[in-house]
Chains A and B, each alone.
Chain A
């Protein structure tokens, strides 16, 4: 899967432009109507009108504005027709519109001009609504892919291997909850922003990992999710240029993505980092990731994404597994463990310490994790244990750990946890 200079693969630029336009129209309408369903319906009508009118009269100079204004008029028409669906629309807002009428507003050139100027904010508001923590995680992911990235219900259903009807039902329910429970399409206030932004980043990273965890060619659609996540990550960084963690997330995804071609063997088996053919790594993506990360680190506001990106950058710029800067990676995992403690981070730290200071040092880090039994079903723990035991010269005990690793590989219970906080199982 060759990613273009801006990471767009699978969809042509034209399709992408169309989808972006669609996303912006939906964003603007959703914010004004407080209702995703009404926004989606109006946008669909506007695009239908456009497909006829543009073929006849040519594409207007400002296609986005044209679509937004047309969609807005369709939404007002739908409201006038008295659809029960729009009953919850802020009456004050529609009061303005119905009192003056869309024609009057167009004549004044006020409302509709303003409508095409606040797109950045509208986009953000839509993202925050789709990623609201009051919605279930899988619902946030589906909403974001549908309304921010502009994927079709069918595409999302295929990517997550659920029946399309199930996914459609989930989206209907989610749209209703947003409308009825009072989730707003606005940028959260300053005191809520950090928490809400954390949820947005988590959704983007979940999308990425859902694609990244996918295996061979049969799961091509799933791997397209990586491109969607990268696109969302770029959007997030563009909309929050001062947020170090959003940049860190983008850098992390770029660096993971750089290894995509080397991660799976020709016969579809996963290849561990130590055995990957580094010539297959995408040097341009590594450079892009490192550049984004370096700029983020200048802000001196480290967080879990920047730390993980820094680790991935050290891997990405190392000539070989052995010559990697393991002491630095061990330190970074230590910092990550302090910020965001997790036994999985400790497993990775143990391997890094083992590579830096020898098998015994690594085993000392791993011992509490093994003893706690918390990750007993986690294959990579036993693989790391075996690796460190072997390195320390305990060949017999290492064989036991490897056997345990094989037993627990592919356990679906740990898969979810892996997806949540993906770290390279070395």
Chain B
């Protein structure tokens, strides 16, 4: 079963930018990737459960399209203004919710961060094109 582990953070756009800059700077000197998230990703790869992961820009930079009277109306900003923004996600292929929760528990999260575990549906008609 595939699970999305959605990571939410409360950091503002400025805080997030500072964190990213610091992370990039710290990594600039080294030749190999290190750090807790690197270890986490490697562990998922080694366990054979890794199916994808992305880290996103802050939701302040989002652009949303809404269907209105048959048109696509564009707005500057996220779909919903909330304190927590979706920071990124892992896509893992594991047996059941218990295993997915174990991987969620292992994430090197910071205070104020939340991980939401959601099972992915399978066997849907549109998914057939992926295996054609």
Name A residues whose Cβ lies closer than 8 Å to a Cβ of B.
87-88, 91, 132, 134, 180-184, 188-189, 192
Smallest CB-CB A-B distances: 8 pairs: A182-B97, A182-B96, A184-B96, A181-B119, A182-B1, A183-B97, A181-B97, A182-B119
Residues of chain A within 8 A of B96, CB atoms compared = 182-184
- The answer, yes or no, to whether B46 is at the interface (CB within 8 Å) is no
- Interface SS, B side: mixed
Closest chain-B Cβ to A56's Cβ sits at a distance in Å of: 41
Question: Which residues in window 76-132 of B have CB below 8 A to A?
Answer: 95-98, 100-102, 117-119, 121, 123
The residue among B101, B117, B123 with the most chain A CB atoms within 10 A of its own CB is B101
- The contact of A87 among B98, B100, B123, by CB within 8 Å, is B123
Q: How far apart sit A87 and B95, CA to CA, in the bound complex (Å)?
A: 18
Closest chain-B Cβ to A130's Cβ sits at a distance in Å of: 14
Chain A residue, CB-CB nearest to B94: A182
Residues of chain B within 8 A of A88, CB atoms compared = 123
Chain B residue, CB-CB nearest to A196: B98
Q: How far apart sit A184 and B100, CA to CA, in the bound complex (Å)?
A: 12
Closest chain-A Cβ to B121's Cβ sits at a distance in Å of: 8
Q: How far apart sit A88 and B123, CA to CA, in the bound complex (Å)?
A: 8
- The contact of A192 among B98, B119, B121, by CB within 8 Å, is B98
The residue among B3, B119, B121 with the most chain A CB atoms within 10 A of its own CB is B119
Contact B97 A134 (CB under 8 A): yes
Contact B119 A180 (CB under 8 A): yes
Q: Please name 8 further chain A to chain B contacts, defined as beta carbons within 8 Å, in addition to the given A134-B101, A181-B117, sorted by A numbering.
A: A91-B123, A132-B97, A180-B119, A181-B97, A182-B1, A182-B95, A183-B98, A192-B98
12 contacts between A and B (CB under 8 A): A180-B119, A180-B121, A181-B97, A181-B117, A181-B118, A181-B119, A182-B3, A182-B96, A182-B97, A183-B97, A184-B98, A188-B98
Q: How far apart sit A87 and B127, CA to CA, in the bound complex (Å)?
A: 15
Residues of chain B within 8 A of A180, CB atoms compared = 119, 121
Contact with A along B32-57 (1 / 0, CB 8 A): 00000000000000000000000000
Residues of chain A within 8 A of B3, CB atoms compared = 182
Chain A residue, CB-CB nearest to B3: A182
Q: How far apart sit A189 and B102, CA to CA, in the bound complex (Å)?
A: 12
Q: How far apart sit A265 and B96, CA to CA, in the bound complex (Å)?
A: 51
Residues of chain B within 8 A of A188, CB atoms compared = 98
Q: How far apart sit A132 and B98, CA to CA, in the bound complex (Å)?
A: 9
Residues of chain A within 8 A of B100, CB atoms compared = 182
Closest chain-B Cβ to A94's Cβ sits at a distance in Å of: 12
Closest chain-A Cβ to B23's Cβ sits at a distance in Å of: 32
Residues of chain B within 8 A of A189, CB atoms compared = 98
The residue among B98, B100, B102 with the most chain A CB atoms within 10 A of its own CB is B98
Residues of chain A within 8 A of B121, CB atoms compared = 180
Closest chain-A Cβ to B91's Cβ sits at a distance in Å of: 14
Closest chain-A Cβ to B47's Cβ sits at a distance in Å of: 15
Q: How far apart sit A182 and B119, CA to CA, in the bound complex (Å)?
A: 7
Residues of chain B within 8 A of A91, CB atoms compared = 123
Chain A residue, CB-CB nearest to B97: A182
Q: How far apart sit A71 and B52, CA to CA, in the bound complex (Å)?
A: 41
Closest chain-A Cβ to B120's Cβ sits at a distance in Å of: 10
Residues of chain A within 8 A of B118, CB atoms compared = 181
Chain A residue, CB-CB nearest to B102: A192
Chain B residue, CB-CB nearest to A183: B97
Closest chain-B Cβ to A167's Cβ sits at a distance in Å of: 24
Q: How far apart sit A134 and B118, CA to CA, in the bound complex (Å)?
A: 12
Residues of chain B within 8 A of A183, CB atoms compared = 96-98
Residues of chain A within 8 A of B102, CB atoms compared = 192
Q: How far apart sit A209 and B123, CA to CA, in the bound complex (Å)?
A: 44
Chain A residue, CB-CB nearest to B124: A87
Q: How far apart sit A181 and B1, CA to CA, in the bound complex (Å)?
A: 9
Closest chain-B Cβ to A153's Cβ sits at a distance in Å of: 25
Q: How far apart sit A183 and B95, CA to CA, in the bound complex (Å)?
A: 10
Residues of chain B within 8 A of A132, CB atoms compared = 97
Q: How far apart sit A246 and B85, CA to CA, in the bound complex (Å)?
A: 43
The residue among A181, A184, A189, A192 with the most chain B CB atoms within 10 A of its own CB is A181
Chain A residue, CB-CB nearest to B122: A88
Question: Which residues in window 13-33 of B have CB below 8 A to A?
Answer: none
Q: How far apart sit A132 and B101, CA to CA, in the bound complex (Å)?
A: 12
Chain B residue, CB-CB nearest to A87: B123
Q: How far apart sit A91 and B95, CA to CA, in the bound complex (Å)?
A: 15
Closest chain-B Cβ to A331's Cβ sits at a distance in Å of: 36
Q: How far apart sit A122 and B119, CA to CA, in the bound complex (Å)?
A: 24
Closest chain-A Cβ to B26's Cβ sits at a distance in Å of: 34
Chain B residue, CB-CB nearest to A191: B102
